Amino acid sequence: MPVKAKTEDLEAFLTVVDTGSFSSAANLLNQQVAKVSRAVTRLESTLEATLLNRTTRRLELTEEGEMFLRYARDGLNKLEKGEEALRLLKRAPSGKLRVDAASPFVLHQLAPLVKAFSETYPDIALDITSHDSIIDLLEHKTDIAIRIGDLSDSNLHARKLGKSKLHIVASPDYLKARPAVGDVSNLAQHKLIGFSDSPKLNRWPLKQDVELRYHLHASSGETIRHLCLAGQGIALLSHFMVYRDIEAGSLVPIFENDLVSPNRRESVQAVYYRNSAVSSRISAFLDFIQPRLIL
């Protein structure tokens, strides 16, 4: 009777492929490198096939490894879904859910919903992190990431949560102290606040070509918002983080008719790694927050 591959060996193989090294896989699985290596070797022995070519610089899937990878991934995903379905027969979704989003989205959208979510799903333990740059979900052990703008990741599943309009904003104090705003071409005469770590966010989707010169830079959209509130200049920010400021009159939208909409920065999406089965925790979280977001 043929020997069957063990689930833990399959998990080790997939994690090595997804992270690109035995050491990264060991870190993610919280195991010793030697144990992960033995698991992959044992799997190859069971299958009587070499799945990975190992060199000092990199790992590379063999032809057999490429073929087997699809079946291993699908099999483990189906097994996880089956286990999740059995658990749901007994109780509501439970366990740790790791969510990452840019700090403005966490502060203005997620944080206000945590109390109600936790009351609805008391057995789900949320772990919320904030990164203002794109993170690797595997490296940061993240289940869901909320991302603003179009996606370029081909290895991620995505669920669109909606669109958040962009506003060019400034405080009333700034506008009183500066020359009249006038035409959008006058932006060159004003103090603009831009992103220090994301040059693409400093290319505003304007209908006409205007030279943008930045007086201040910050790495976080929330910092830029506070600089605007303090009268330090003009910035382009998403509706989800400034709508209350606009309603209160603390920030004033300008050049509303000069922005192209829709544009690449308006999309708000939740992403998760392809190797993850869509667990009940992820579904519960996204189903709960989507209708409650103010984008």
What residue segments make up the domains of the chain, in order of their start?
Answer: 7-88, 92-164+266-292, 166-258
For domain 92-164+266-292, give the CATH number.
3.40.190.10
Q: How far apart are CA 37 and CA 26, in angstroms?
A: 9
Q: Which residues does residue 98 pair with via DSSP β-bridges, in sequence order?
A: 127
Residue 41, both tokens: 């070797």
Give the end-to-end CA distance of the chain in Å, rounded to a whole number.
58
Cα-Cα-Cα-Cα dihedral sign, residues 96, 101, 107, 108 = negative
Return the CATH architecture of domain 7-88. Answer: Orthogonal Bundle (1.10)
Q: Are 246 and 252 in contact (CB under 8 A)?
A: yes
pLDDT at 177: 87
Instruction: Tell the CATH superfamily of the 166-258 domain.
Output: Periplasmic binding protein-like II (3.40.190.10)
Residue 157, both tokens: 């599943």
10 Å Cβ neighbour count for 271? 20
Q: Are 105 and 240 in contact (CB under 8 A)?
A: yes
Place of tokens 């831009």: 194
Q: Are 205 and 263 in contact (CB under 8 A)?
A: yes
Taking the model in full, what pTM does it have? 0.71
Task: Show the DSSP H helices in the chain as ranges.
Answer: 7-19, 22-29, 33-47, 63-90, 103-105, 111-120, 172-177, 221-229, 239-248, 280-289
Indicate the SS3 state at residue 82. helix
Q: How far apart are CA 63 and CA 75, in angstroms?
A: 19
pLDDT at 59: 87
Do 166-258 and 92-164+266-292 have the same topology in CATH? yes
Q: Are 33 and 26 in contact (CB under 8 A)?
A: yes
For residue 109, the 8-state DSSP code is I
Distances (CA, A) of 215 to 65, 187, 233, 259: 53, 12, 8, 21
Q: Mean pLDDT for each 10-residue chunk of the chain (295 residues)? A: 76 90 89 93 92 84 92 84 68 86 96 96 93 66 88 75 97 88 87 91 93 93 97 97 97 95 93 66 93 96
